Structure 1
Amino acid sequence: MFPPIVTPLAGPDQIDEAGCERLLEHLIAGGVDGIFLLGSSGEIASLSHRLRAEFVQKACQIVNRRAPVLVGITDNSIVETNRLAQAAAEAGADGIVLTTPFYFSVSQAELVTYVQAVLQETELPLLLYNMPAMTKLWFEFETVAELAQIEQIVGIKDSSQDINYYRKLTSLKSIRPDWAFFIGHETLLAESLHAGGTGGVNLGTNLFPRLFANLMQAHRANDVSLVKSYQTKINQIEALYNVADRSLPLLPLIAITKTALSIMGICDDRLASPHHRCTAEQRQQAAIVLERLNTELGQ
C-alpha cells in the first residue's frame, strides 16, 4: 500500500512543512508499505519545478528510510522529467513513477522513446503509471509488454478503472514475475488483488491508512472474507467524495481529501493555484461525514 499523498501547501509556491510532517507521520503510523510523492493526487502538474524538488527533499528527510519512497517525475519536457528524477535520486528516493506526456498527441512508439530517454539518465527503478483520464493517453498493453523487457522497469500502476485491462496487465507476470501491479481506484482494490495484483495507490489512504493496511494484511494472510469486509468499509469513503462536485475528474476529490485532512488537524486545505478550496458548506458537510466514517470504520 503506497498512498499517493496530497501535497500540503501553505502558499501559492510554498510547502506546508508542518503539515507535510504530520501527514507522513500519520501514514507511517498507519502501517503503509511506502509513500508515493507527486502523483496526480499530489497535484504535480500544477506545482512549480522548484517546489516539486523541494517537496521531495523535505519528504525524504522526514521519512528517513522508514518506508520506501516513490516519486512522480512526469513532465511534458523530457529535460524537466530527468531533472526531477535526478532530484529524487539525490534526495534518497527509492524509485520513480512515470506516466504519459499530455497536451500534444503522442504515439505509442514515441511513448517508448520517452520512457527510454528517462531511463538513460537515471539508475533508479521505474514504475509506469497509466492515467488516461488525465493524460488522454494509454499505455497500451502491447507497449507495456515491450517495456517489460527492460529490467529497470519494475511494474505499473493502473488508474484506468478498467479491470479487464488490469487483468491483462497481470498476465505479464509470465515474463516479469518480479513486477509490481498497483491499482489506483480504491473500490477495485480487493478485486485487483484477486486478479493477481500487488497492492494499491489509493487516495483514501491519506485519511484512513490503517484501514487499507489491514486489508493488505488480510490479503497476505489469504483471508478472503476479511479482505471483503475491509473492502466494504473502504467503499464507504465514497460518501466523503460525494460531497465534492463529481462532474469533474479527480481534482474535486483531492480538494475534499485536503479538506478532511484539515478537519483532522493534519495539514492545510489549500490547493495549487488557480484552484479553489472547498466551500464552507462542503467543509461543513465533510465534517459530518468524516465524524460518521470515523465511527463506522473504527478509526
Structure 2
Amino acid sequence: MMKIEDIKGVIPPIITPVDEDENVNEEGLKKVINHVLDGGVHGVFVLGSNGEFYAFDFENQKKAVEITVKEVNGRVPVYAGASAITTKECIKLAKMAEEVGADALTVLTPMFIQPNEEELYNHFYAVAKSTKLPVLLYNNPGKTTNNISVSLVEKLSKIDNIVGIKNTSLDFAQTIQYLKVTKNNPNFKVLSGTDYYIYGTLAYGGEGCVAGTANVAPKLVVDIYEKYISGDIEGAMEAQYKLMPLRDTYSYGSFPVVMKECLNLMGINVGDPVRPIEHCSEAKLNELKKVLIKLDLMK
C-alpha cells in the first residue's frame, strides 16, 4: 500500500503512443516509461492531459494502465488518471485502476460543464469514496474552465484518501494559498502542475511536480527537485531556468503534440498525436530541434 511519504518528487504525466488506428501502442508506451525511469523520476502518471486521456475509450484506458503497472513493476508509484465529465464515469475508471494495480488516482475537475462548489465537492467525495486508493486532485482551469477554489481544497483535504492536489494553473498565488490552508495537514501534499513553478512550489513547502517536460528531459526536472532537497538552492534554481525554454515550446503546436514531437526528434519513436491534433509545422520542428540540441537531448 502506498504511503503518504511516497507522494513526492517528479511525476511525469507520460505521453501515450498510439498505433495507426489511434489505439494504445504497447511497445511505444514501454519505451516512454523506461525513458522517464532512467531519468530518475519518482512516480509515473498515466492518462493525464499530456497522455491524451480524453482520446481513449474505456478499453484503451484500461490497457494503458495495465501496461504501465506491469512495466513500472513497483519501481515507483503509478498514478492513474480517472477523469471524465460525469461522476459515474470517473468512479468506473477509479475502480478499474484499483483492480489493475495502480497505486494512486489523479482526478481532474469535470470539463465542458460547470458545476458549482457544492457539486464539485460531491463529485470528488463520491470518487474518493468509491476506492481505497489515495486520490490526487487535479486542477487545470485553463483546459476544463473549472477551478478548484482554495476553500474547496480546504474542505476536500479533510477526506481521508484525498491526499493532495496538482495545480496546473498560471495563478501561482493559488498554489501558495493551497499550501497555506493545508499546512497543518501532514497527509495532504501540494504539487506544481506548471513547469515554470517547480522551484517556487518547493520553496513554499510543496512536495514536487507533475511536469509534462519530464517526458522529454526527466534528468533536468529531477535535478530541480534533488538539488532543492539536498540544500543546493542555487543549483535547483539554475536547473529551473534551464528548463524554461523547453516549457516555452508548448506553443509550437496544438496541445499536447509538442512533447510527442520532442521524443520523436530524440529518436524515441512515439508516433502521431491523436486527431484532430496534428504534427507541428516544419519550421516549428526546426525550432524545437534547436532547443533540444541546446539541452543536450539530441545531436
TM-score after normalising by structure 2: 0.92
Alignment-derived partner of residue 9 in structure 1: 18
State yes or no: 1:210 paired with 2:228.
no
TM-score after normalising by structure 1: 0.92
CA contact (8 A) 1:20 1:267 kept: no
Q: Give 1:120 shift.
A: 2.5
Q: Distance in 1 between matches of 2:101 and 2:157?
A: 25
Question: Where in structure 1 are there 5+ consecutive unaligned residues?
Answer: 246-251
- What RMSD in Å do the two structures reach over aligned CA positions? 1.8
Q: Give 1:258 shift.
A: 0.4
CA contact (8 A) 2:195 2:247 kept: no
Alignment-derived partner of residue 34 in structure 1: 43
> For 1:185, which of 191, 194, 204 is the aligned residue?
194
State yes or no: 1:233 paired with 2:235.
no
Alpha-carbon displacement from aligned partner over 1:20-61 (angstroms, at most 9, x marks no partner): 111111111100000011111111122222211111111111
Q: Give 1:253 shift.
A: 4.3
State yes or no: 1:66 paired with 2:68.
no
CA contact (8 A) 1:127 1:154 kept: yes
Q: Give 1:282 shift.
A: 2.8
CA contact (8 A) 1:236 1:293 kept: no
Alpha-carbon displacement from aligned partner over 1:228-253 (angstroms, at most 9, x marks no partner): 111111113145435x14xxxxxx24
Q: Distance in 1 between matches of 2:247 and 2:91?
A: 36
Q: Give 1:16 shift.
A: 2.0
**How many correspondences in the alignment?**
290
SS at match of 2:84: coil
> For 1:197, which of 196, 202, 206 is the aligned residue?
206
CA contact (8 A) 1:240 1:290 kept: no
CA contact (8 A) 1:239 1:289 kept: no
- Tell me the amino acid that sits aligned with residue 83 of structure 1: K
> For 2:293, which of 268, 291, 294 is the aligned residue?
291
CA contact (8 A) 1:100 1:129 kept: yes
Alignment-derived partner of residue 249 in structure 1: none
State yes or no: 1:158 paired with 2:163.
no
Percent of matched pairs sharing the same residue: 28
Deviates more, 1:273-282 or 1:188-197: 273-282
- Tell me the amino acid that sits aligned with residue 24 of structure 2: I
State yes or no: 1:118 paired with 2:114.
no
SS at match of 1:14: coil
CA contact (8 A) 1:261 1:269 kept: no
Alignment-derived partner of residue 270 in structure 1: 272
SS at match of 1:40: coil
SS at match of 2:153: helix
CA contact (8 A) 2:111 2:145 kept: yes
Question: Where in structure 2 are there 5+ consecutive unaligned residues?
Answer: 1-9
- Tell me the amino acid that sits aligned with residue 136 of structure 1: T
The 5-angstrom pairing of residues 99-138 of structure 1 reads 99-138=108-147
CA contact (8 A) 2:45 2:79 kept: yes
Q: Distance in 2 between matches of 1:28 and 1:125?
A: 22
Q: Distance in 1 between matches of 2:100 and 2:185?
A: 28
Q: Give 1:175 shift.
A: 3.4
CA contact (8 A) 1:13 1:48 kept: no
Q: Distance in 2 between matches of 1:199 and 1:12?
A: 36
Q: Distance in 2 between matches of 1:52 and 1:151?
A: 26
Q: Distance in 2 between matches of 1:13 and 1:49?
A: 14
Deviates more, 1:99-108 or 1:123-132: 99-108
CA contact (8 A) 2:245 2:291 kept: no
Alpha-carbon displacement from aligned partner over 1:169-200 (angstroms, at most 9, x marks no partner): 00133331222111111111111111111101
SS at match of 1:36: strand
The 3 A distance-change label for structure 1 pair 209 and 240 is same
Q: Distance in 2 between matches of 1:272 and 1:261?
A: 15
